[in-house]
Structure 1
Amino acid sequence: MTAADPRALEHPTRGEIRLEAVLHALSDPVRLRIVRELADTGSELSCSHFDLPVTKSTTTHHFRVLRESGVIQQGYRGTAKMSDLRRADLDALFPGLLDGVLTAATAQDARVAS
């Protein structure tokens, strides 16, 4: 947090993002669901947009794991906490990883549904 903005959230720089942290963040079904929605939308969404099957405190935890691993960027717009996928950073560091995970998640959904 900075003196200029006490609500500023800490994020890793591109150079600090680690593959194992990203993979850990994407390994949870709830976090993967958040990432899929952000990827599908292609723009930032407020945390209240997500209808997740967990408590508010658990939702907060999942967003924190995604932010601290470098998967998402978060910031306040007025009173809303907005989240955005760090696609450019992830694609630059780990080419094809995000697209591969999202494609695999979609294929898994189709397999499970049938």
Structure 2
Amino acid sequence: MAEGTTRRGRSLVHADPAAVPLQDALDALADPVRRSILRELAGEPDFTRSCGTFDLPVSKATASHHFAVLRSAGLLEQVDKGPRRLNRLRRAEFEARFPGLLALVLAEERAGDA
């Protein structure tokens, strides 16, 4: 199997956070479902949560779209391990590009839960 090709037969594209425009980052962070994904990942070790373990109020196809948006905004890295797609929050890389933005979003979510 070629490098970057998944078991599902398509390539996972990961944006370099350094090349992500601010508007794309803001658009990705604007959706509450995507923010909930990021909030959950923020509390997990890298590559321990698969897409199917998130309790999202959307269809599987819509959830896949949300994960793709997060990947294209440089917020998420995914790898396929057997039948599971594992996720990693790209906190350090995103922080280098947009200092304080992710921390602000995650802090707002925690305050909203209180």
Percent identical residues: 45
The aligned length equals: 109
Q: Which runs of 5+ in 1 are unaligned?
A: none
Q: Which residue of 1 aligns with 2:19?
A: 16
Matches of 2:111 and 2:36, distance apart in 1 = 14
Higher percent of residues as helix = 1
Matches of 2:80 and 2:73, distance apart in 1 = 19
Question: Compared with structure 1, are the counterparts of its residues 79 and 41 closer, same or farther at alpha carbon in structure 2 (3 Å cutoff)?
Answer: same
1:49 aligns with 2:53: yes
Large movers: runs of 4+ above 6 Å: none
Structure 2-normalised TM-score? 0.86
Q: Secondary structure at the match of 1:83?
A: strand
Which structure carries more relative contact order (alpha carbon 8 Å, separation 6+)? 2
Structure 1-normalised TM-score? 0.86
Matches of 1:106 and 1:98, distance apart in 2 = 12
Q: Which residue of 1 aligns with 2:5?
A: 6
